[in-house]
Chain A
Amino acid sequence: MTTRDVLLWVVVPYVAGAVFVVGHLWRYRYDRFGWTTRSSQVYESRLLRAGSPMFHVGILMVIGGHVVGLLVPRTWLEAVGVTEHAYHLVATWAGTLAAVLTLAGLAILVYRRRTVGPVFLATTRMDKLMYVVLGATLAFGTTATVMFQLLGDAYDYRGSISPWIRGLLTFQPDASLMADVPLAFQLHVLCAMSLFALWPFTRLVHVFSAPLGYLTRPYIVYRTKDDTHLGNRVPRPGWERVERPGSRR
C-alpha cells in the first residue's frame, strides 16, 4: 500500500465527502434562494420532453443499482436468496439499460443545451464543468461495465470496491482494497469523487429537494405571520415578548 494509494483512496474520498456534506449545509444556509433546478423548459420544450425523463429515469436506476451493489454486502443478498448468478444477470442487463437511457438522455440534453440559443446563453460555467465531470463519470462507468461485465469475465467489484466504500462509510478505510482494481473502475471512482465535491456548488443540489412531502401534505397551504419574526430582525435569545395575560396569539 503506497502513499499514492492512501492519498487516492482515503484522503481524496474523505475530502470530497467533507466538501459534499459541509458544502450542502453551507449552501442551504446561505443560498436557499439559489437552490433550484434552474429549469430551461420555458425556452424549449420539445427536446427536453424527450431527453429529460430518459436521463432522470436512467440515472435513478443507476443510483439504485449502486446502492444495491456497493452498500449492501453480498452475504445479505445471499441470505435473502439472491445468488451470485442472479445478481450478475440483473446487474448487467438492468445496468446496461440504465446506462443506455442515461447516456442517450444526456446526449439529447447536451445537444439541446448547445444548439438552442436561449438555453446555451443561460448555461453557467459551473454548469459546463459539471457536465464534463458528470459525463466523464458516466463514460468511465459505462466503459468499465462494457469491458468487464458485458465482454470480459465479470470483474468482482463486490469483493473490492464495495467493501472499500463500506469501510469509508464506517470510518475504517482500507486503501489496499482499491490498489488492484482495474483502471476503468479507478477512473470512474475518482471522477465520481470530483462530482461529489462539485455537487453542492452546482444545480445538482436539486436532487435533495425531491418533493416527496407533496404526497402527504394538504393541497392548500396557509401560512400565518411568524410570531417569532414580528419585527425586522431575528429576536435575540434572552428577550421574551411581553404578552397580555389571556391574549389569544
Chain B
Amino acid sequence: MKVMAQMAMVMNLDKCIGCHTCSVTCKQAWTNRTGVEYVWFNNVETRPGVGYPRTYEDQEKWGGGWVRTKRGRLKLRSGGRFTKLSHIFSNPKLPEIRDYYEPWTYEYDTLLSAPQGEHTPVARPMSLLTGKAMQIHWSANWDDNLGGSTETMAQDPILKQMSEQVTAELEQAFMFYLPRICEHCLNPSCVASCPSGAMYKRAEDGIVLVDQDQCRGWRMCVSGCPYKKVYFNHKTGKAEKCTMCYPRLEVGLPTVCSETCVGRLRYLGLVLYDADRVLEAASVEDPAELLDAQRSVLLDPHDPAVVAAAEAEGIPHDWVLAAQRSPIWALISTYQVALPLHPEYRTMPMVWYIPPLSPVVDVVTGSGNDGEDARTLFAAIDRLRIPVEYLAGLFTAGETAPVTAVLQRLAAMRAHMRNVNLGAEQDPRIAQAVGMTAEEIEAMYRLLAIAKYEDRYVIPAAHAESARALEETASGCSLDVDGGPGMGGGGRFGSSSGRPVRAAVETFHALRNRQTADTPAGATPTRVNLLNWDGNGAPPGMFPPEKGQPGYGDGPEAHA
C-alpha cells in the first residue's frame, strides 16, 4: 500500500443555477490573455447538450482516454508510444480552435471615430484570429438553455447512445447544468500522452500541471484528454490547463471557481488513495464496475492502518487530519452520493458530481403531486427512466443502479427533513429505505444544504514553513543568484526577462504578517524603502548593525 494524498472536488448539481460566475471569475484570473481567448479552464454546459468543445465526449472521433486491451492492459485510445511519435508531425485527433469557437472582440473604436451620418455606428465583431470582421456562429456556451440548446441537443454524444425517440421527450422533461474543470485524474491520459514529459502530477496533492519551460507544443495532451481540458495557447505554442488554483490552495484558500460560486455547490478537500492499486482499478474488465473500483482505491482516513501508512509515506499529520474532515471523503464514501464524470474513460477522475434530483422533483410537482413525499419521489425515480439513463451515461458508464441509489438518498433526505422542519412525526422507514439512519441523513443535510464555508472547504496549507521562513524579510530578489545580475528585479535583458518569480507561499504569508502586524513595517531591520528616503541621514536598517550594537550578527540568514 502506497498512500498518496489527492486534492479533489465534488459539485452538487442540484444547486447549480447556470449563472457562469465560476467561468467568468476563472477566466479573469487565468485566461484573460492573448493566445487563450478561446480557453475556459472552467465552463458550464447545459445538458443534454453538445458541450465545449463541441461533442468532446465522442471518443470515437477525438480518441481521448484509455481503453482496455484484450489482454487486460490499458492503452491510450489514440495509440501507444510509437503511434504517438509517428503522428508527431501532425496530430490526427487535434480539435481546431473552431471546434471550441473563434474568439472575437468588437470594433469599439468605430463608435467614437465614425463620422457624423444618418445611421448610428455599430461595433462589428472582429475575429481575434484573423483580425477581420466575422460572423459569430458559436461560442463557449452557445447551446446554453437560455440560448439555443434544443437546436443542437440531438448532437449530444450521450443522447446518441440512448434510443432516438428519447430526444424529443427530453426537450420538455429534463435539463440541468454541468460545470466542468480539469478532473486532476489519478490515471491522467494527458500526462501519459505528453511526449516531452512536461506534464506531471504533483506527488503532494495530485494536482496535474504543465511545466511551461519543458512543454514543446507537440499537442498530444490536448487529444489525449477525454474531457478536452488541456488547451493549446496559440500565441506561446504551449499547453495550458486548470491548475486547481494551486497558489491559492497552498495557502489554504479555495479555488477561484469555488470561492465565487453563488450556489455554494462546490466542495474541496483531500482524499487518501492507494497509488499501487490505481492501475489495477482502472483496468477492470466491465466498465460498469469502474465506479466501485475507483471508490475502492480511496482509503478510509479514519483507519489506523491507513493513518500509519500515510505518515510512513511522509504525509504530514495535519494533512491526515484534513483528510479525515474532508467533505469529499464523506460525499463519495460515507454517504455515497457523489459520482465521477465518465469513469469509462478509465482516467480515474477526481472531480465528482452529486447528480441532480430537481428534474425529478419538477416533474412530480408539475403533475400536481407532492414533491417532498418519499414514496412519490421513489416511484418517480423508478418511473422516469430517461433522466436516470442519461445521468448514468454521464456518471456510471451506463449503469443505472448507482444513479437510482443516489437519487433515492437525496429524495429520502428531502422527505425526512420536511418532517423535521414541520415537527411532524418521524417516519423511520424513510431512512431505512436508503440504508441510512436519521442521524446520518441529518448530517448529510447539514453538509449539502447548510454547507458552511468551513465544511465545504477543508484545505490544509502546503508545508512551506519548513522552507526558508519569511523569505521576503530577507529582501532577496529571485534573480539574485550566484553569478546573476544582483541589480534587483531588472533581469539580464530588460524587465521581465529571465525566469519568472514563482508564486510563493512564504511571500503570501510574509505579506499578510506584515500587513496585520502590530509594529510598522519600518521596524523590520532589513527593509528600507529608498523611494521614501529624502537623503538625510541613514534610516534604521539601511546598514547592518555595527559591532556592539543590538542585533549585530543577526543577519537575514539567521532568521531562516
Contact = CB atoms under 8 A, between A and B. Distances in A.
A221 B201 contact: yes
B477 interface: yes
Interface stretch (A2-10, A87-95, A175-183, A234-242): A234-242
B200 interface: yes
A232 B199 contact: no
B85 interface: yes
Interface in A25-64: 30, 32-45, 48-49, 52-53, 55-57
Contacts of A151: none
Contacts of B429: none
Interface string B197-209: 1011111100000
A199 B211 CA distance: 24
B318 to A, nearest CB: 16
A36 B354 CA distance: 41
Interface in B430-481: 462, 464, 466-468, 471-472, 476-478, 480-481
A213 B197 contact: yes
Interface stretch (B108-116, B138-146, B155-163, B498-506): B498-506
B234 A42 contact: yes
Nearest to B231: A42
B165 interface: no
Chain A contact-residue range equals: 35 or more
A220 B219 CA distance: 17
A30 B481 CA distance: 14
Interface stretch (B14-22, B187-195, B321-329, B370-378): B187-195
B481 A36 contact: no
B89 A56 contact: yes
A219 B74 CA distance: 11
Given A30-B493, A221-B197, A221-B200, A52 B234 contact: no
Contact of B131 (A44, A52, A121, A223): A121
Interface string B323-356: 0000000000000000000000000000000000
Interface string A198-217: 00000000100101011101
Contacts of A55: 89
B81 interface: yes
A215 B237 CA distance: 23
A189 B265 CA distance: 66
Nearest to A41: B94
Contacts of B85: 211, 214-215
| Of listed B131, B467, B498, B507, residue having the most chain A CB within 10 A | B467
A159 interface: no
A35 B502 CA distance: 19
B303 interface: no
A85 interface: no
Main secondary structure on A side of the interface with B? loop
B386 to A, nearest CB: 36
B195 A52 contact: no
B213 A52 contact: no
B232 A39 contact: yes
Nearest to A214: B195
B236 interface: yes
Contacts of A37: 216-218, 237
B89 A211 contact: no
Contacts of B236: 33-34, 36
B497 A30 contact: yes
B191 A231 contact: no
A138 to B, nearest CB: 17
A117 B130 CA distance: 5
28 contacts: A30-B497, A30-B498, A32-B213, A33-B212, A34-B236, A36-B215, A36-B216, A36-B217, A41-B94, A43-B97, A45-B90, A45-B94, A49-B90, A53-B89, A56-B89, A118-B129, A121-B129, A122-B235, A206-B216, A214-B81, A214-B84, A223-B200, A232-B476, A232-B501, A232-B506, A233-B477, A234-B478, A236-B482
Interface of B: 81-82, 84-85, 88-92, 94-97, 129-132, 187-188, 191-192, 194-197, 199-204, 211-219, 232, 234-238, 314, 462, 464, 466-468, 471-472, 476-478, 480-482, 492-493, 497-498, 501-502, 504, 506-507, 557
